[in-house]
């Protein structure tokens, strides 16, 4: 298993290099000039050119790329022009917010989608099966920003049940001391139940918004995979041997149906990390997605490049975790590795 992990890490190096090159080229190809943006509408030609020289934009693209790669090797991801802070520090500060939102939303989706898919597969044609199909169709059809706006309008504006969608904490609450960056965990470590309750309330609507979007592919894949396994010969043999239905369902069927679900889980998780920017914008969530969008509007290259590179590294790490999970669920995956 260790050799397989090392092999996957080495295999990911060309992909990371490709991400660095493509991101650098695309950011320079985007319309807009950061020097003109920061000089302002009243900026003269001389002022714009002076800013370009300070930012190093007067040099050729190969020279800029060599300088960028050299900074990356030294651990310098550049500075954000909009905030004036190092990009690596900004990402490290904002990444826990995005991860906490994504993980809670994914957990909610898993808790609902997998049992729903299993029940739909064991009762084809029933009302549960039709409910599963309806939920998956709605989850795929509704955009996340529309779902988020609708939930905020109904539960905050009309009913007043949810707190104001303005960030990770109530404006009158104090953030817990930094340990993991996850407010739920850090507040529990500090024993501050009031802050924990405030963070949990702020998480409810954005997490449900993400969960509704992710629930559809997970429930659909669970149902399809379980249907395929339940019709297999070894399941019929297990039933004919007199094993209890729960043993057949969970020990034999569900474990064999879990590998495609794990693949789908990894795909939707990596997709959510990069695409939850719409949810972050709707609920004023201070994550890296909103940080990257603000930098993109300002033609601020360094944060955009740092965001894409961070997503690529997280995707590599996620693939490694999925491979380890494969080995735990199916020993044949360890042997093949």
- The answer to the question of residue 23 being in a domain is no
pLDDT tens track for 67-107? 888 878 888 787 887 777 888 888 888 888 888 888 898 89
- The answer to the question of residue 34 being in a domain is no
What's the mean pLDDT in 159-173? 83
CATH of the domain at 186: 1.10.3720.10
- The answer to the question of residue 114 being in a domain is yes
Residue 170 or residue 1, greater confidence: 170
Confidence at residue 330, expressed as pLDDT on a 0 to 100 scale: 63
Task: Look up the pTM and report it.
Answer: 0.81
pLDDT tens track for 124-144? 878 888 888 887 777 777 777
As to burial, measured by CB atoms within 10 angstroms (0-12 exposed, 13-18 middle, 19+ buried), residue 206 is buried
pLDDT tens track for 3-44? 666 777 777 778 788 888 888 887 777 666 677 666 666 667
- The answer to the question of residue 61 being in a domain is no
Q: Are 269 and 106 in contact (CB under 8 A)?
A: yes
Number of domains in the chain: 1
Q: Return the SS3 of 192.
A: coil
Q: Are 99 and 92 in contact (CB under 8 A)?
A: no
Query: Both tokens of residue 50?
Result: 């002076």
- The share of the chain scoring above pLDDT 70, in percent, equals 90
- The answer to the question of residue 109 being in a domain is yes
Confidence at residue 225, expressed as pLDDT on a 0 to 100 scale: 86
Cα atoms in the 13 Å half-sphere on the side-chain side of 115: 5
pLDDT tens track for 259-292? 888 888 877 887 777 667 888 888 888 888 888 8
SS3 content of the chain, % helix, strand, coil (to 5): 75, 0, 25
How far is the C-alpha of 245 from the C-alpha of 259, rounded, in Å?
21
Q: Which residues constitute the domain of residue 118?
A: 95-288
Q: Is the pLDDT of residue 226 over 50?
A: yes
Residue 327 or residue 103, greater confidence: 103
- The answer to the question of residue 86 being in a domain is no
Query: Both tokens of residue 307?
Result: 């965001």
Is residue 332 very low, low, confident or very high in pLDDT (cuts 50, 70, 90)? low
- The answer to the question of residue 20 being in a domain is no
- The answer to the question of residue 17 being in a domain is no
Query: Both tokens of residue 19?
Result: 């991400």
């Amino acid at each position: 298993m260790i050799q397989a992990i090392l092999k996957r890490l080495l295999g990911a190096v060309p992909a990371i290099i490709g991400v660095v090159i493509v991101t650098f080229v695309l950011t320079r190809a985007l319309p807009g000039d950061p020097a003109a943006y920061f000089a302002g509408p009243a900026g003269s030609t001389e002022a714009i050119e002076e800013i370009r020289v300070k930012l190093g934009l007067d040099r050729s693209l190969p020279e800029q790329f060599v300088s960028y790669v050299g900074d990356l090797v030294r651990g310098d991801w550049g500075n954000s022009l909009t905030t004036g802070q190092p990009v690596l520090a900004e990402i490290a500060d904002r990444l826990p917010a995005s991860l906490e939102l994504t993980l809670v939303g994914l957990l909610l989706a898993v808790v609902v989608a997998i049992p729903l898919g299993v029940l739909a597969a064991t009762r084809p044609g029933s009302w549960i099966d039709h409910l599963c199909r309806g939920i998956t169709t709605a989850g795929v059809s509704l955009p996340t920003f529309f779902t988020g706006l609708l939930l905020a309008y109904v539960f905050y504006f009309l009913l007043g049940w949810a707190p104001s969608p303005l960030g990770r904490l109530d404006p009158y609450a104090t953030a817990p001391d930094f340990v993991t960056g996850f407010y739920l965990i850090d507040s529990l470590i500090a024993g501050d139940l009031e802050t924990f309750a405030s963070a949990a309330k702020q998480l409810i609507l954005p997490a449900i918004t993400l969960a509704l979007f992710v629930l559809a592919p997970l429930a659909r894949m669970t149902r399809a995979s379980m249907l395929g396994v339940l019709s297999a010969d070894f399941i019929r043999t297990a039933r004919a041997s007199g094993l209890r239905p729960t043993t057949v369902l969970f020990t034999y069927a569900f474990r064999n149906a879990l590998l495609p679900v794990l693949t789908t889980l990894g795909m939707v998780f990596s997709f959510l990390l990069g695409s939850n920017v719409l949810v972050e914008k709707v609920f004023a969530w201070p994550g890296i997605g909103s940080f990257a969008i603000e930098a993109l509007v300002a033609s601020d290259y360094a944060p955009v490049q740092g965001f894409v590179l961070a997503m690529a590294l997280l995707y590599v790490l996620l693939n490694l975790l999925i491979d380890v999970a494969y080995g735990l669920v199916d020993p044949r995956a360890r042997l093949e590795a």
